[in-house]
Amino acid sequence: MNIIWFQNDLRLNDNPVLKEALANGGELLPLYIFNEDQIDENQFGIGRMGYFRARFIWESLMDLKAQLKNEGFELQILKGKVSAIFDQINEAKAINTIFTSKASDPEGLKLENKIAAKYKLQSYWNNTLIDIDQLPFSPQNIPNIFTQFRKQIEKRVQVKELVTDYDWTKSTMANVTFKSMGFEDLNIELEENDSRSVLPFKGGSTAATERLEHYFWKTKKLSFYKKTRNGLVGADYSSKFSPWLATGSISAKEIYYEVKRYEDEHGSNSSTYWLIFELYWRDYFRYISNMYGSKIFWKEGLKAVEDKTNSKDGFWSSEMKVSSQQQNLFHKWCNGITGDDFVDANMRELKYTGWMSNRGRQNVASYLVHDLHLDWRWGAAWFENRLIDFDVHSNTGNWIYVAGVGNDPRPNRKFNTKLQAERYDQKRKFRQIWLEESLKLF
């Protein structure tokens, strides 16, 4: 049988992997694996996957499962070491080909290579706005400056058409069953929903489409995005598409073509353009990871000549000497009790909801690196645990950028958090929401 191994591409629409797997015909097993290595604690003692993201992924899987069922397929959801899971499956029924999305981060690539060494694996580029075969430069020669990357692409590349016309008739559900798992098998500590959350985020492509309908068509907020995107309070200051993009419940191309449809009807302006501009940032960080490999996890980042901290595959595998004073500062930062009210409000929002605005993220990241003088990778690790939209490329790319160790020519991106609070939270509305409630410590 063949396997379609879903990863961060949890959708039927615009999915080149699905199209190829179905075109191949024969028995097909749709599979998702909760990779144990990406859930367990890293060496900072922080679990890699916290409750909010786990629940969002679970909801996305339930939605995908229902959609596949309509087509006669049963999604299998398993947990464990990825390579051991494939071995178990292969024992139950021989695997012919594994179809999956191509990894572009070092950890994902290593895993892909490991599986490909044992099984026939066909991976397809997926999830970016501009595909790797369309780049007007070599993937190993991505411009150092984002603006150069974007301008060349805007001038020379057309976003590909969406993938459609799947042939569901050639394939049948593989005749094999495994013990299905429930959410509780993830062993992730449950957390309460906080009514202050900007949105009741729900995973899955159905919810992604609803959010897009709301933000574009019902409220027409897209037409004002550029003016509101630095906001902190409420559901609609920005699109909030990131969790669905991170899980692949919606593709960047789907959003792009919906923006174009919207522009045809309601007119284009700097706001409709700016949403696409931000999707180019997302692509940029993916191509940077793809080009630099494990260097993106080094403390000195892309500027490092050698890795002085012995990191191997990720920030989680490096060995660091940490003083108790540093640990204490980090604990305060995570819990939103640093004493800087703007940082604290943002950090509490993150802790209790799994969400933080882009403005907030820039400030708290700058504070950790440039005020507390801590290793940016600790902050990135906490973000990995907390953020429902965690994406290794966007997270690491933004952290190294703020820490001044990306390929950006400006070495110091320190934010003055007091001035930022005055500018973006003039009436203290945001800080009131997060600081005046009782403080829950863990």
Ligand X SMILES: Cc1cc2nc3c(=O)[nH]c(=O)nc-3n(C[C@H](O)[C@H](O)[C@H](O)COP(=O)(O)OP(=O)(O)OC[C@H]3O[C@@H](n4cnc5c(N)ncnc54)[C@H](O)[C@@H]3O)c2cc1C
Burial of 306 (0-12, 13-18, 19+ CB in 10 A): exposed
The residue within the footprint of ligand X, chosen from 54, 111, 275, 381 (CB under 6 A), is 275
Q: Does 394 bind ligand X (CB under 6 A)?
A: yes
Beta strands in 334-430 (DSSP E): none
Which of 351, 133, 142, 124 lies closest to 248 in space, CA to CA?
Answer: 124
At 77, give phi and psi (nearest 5°): -120, 120
Q: How far is the CB of 275 from ligand X (least distance, A)?
A: 6
Site string for ligand X, 279-308 (x = CB under 6 A): x-xx--x-----------------------
Smallest gap from Cβ 236 to ligand X, in A, equals 9
Instruction: Provide the 8-state DSSP code for 213.
Output: I
Closest separation in Å from C-beta 430 to ligand X: 15
User: Is 128 one of the binding residues for ligand X (CB under 6 A)?
Assistant: no
| 243: nearest Cα among 76, 99, 355 | 355
Nearer to ligand X, 279 or 421 (CB): 279
Tokens 């969400």 belong to 355
Which residue's structure tokens are 């994406």? 391
Which of 59, 341, 391, 425 binds ligand X (CB under 6 A)? It is: 391
Candidates 399, 415, 430, 434; binder of ligand X (CB under 6 A) is: 399
Residue among 114 and 229 whose Cβ is closer to ligand X: 229
Counting contacts by CB under 6 A, is residue 240 touching ligand X? Answer: yes
Q: DSSP letter at 100?
A: E
Judged by CB under 6 A, the residue of 27, 278, 307, 371 near ligand X is 278
Check the CA dihedral 225-226-227-233 and report its sign: positive
Of the two residues 80 and 231, which places its CB atom closer to ligand X in the complex?
A: 231
Measured in whole angstroms, the distance separating CA 25 from the mean position of its chain's CA atoms is 31
Tell me how many residues contact ligand X (CB under 6 A).
29
Burial of 436 (0-12, 13-18, 19+ CB in 10 A): exposed
Residues of the shown chain interacting with ligand X in the complex, contacts defined by CB under 6 A = 229, 238-242, 245-246, 275, 278-279, 281-282, 285, 357-358, 361-362, 365, 383, 387, 389-391, 394-395, 398-399, 402
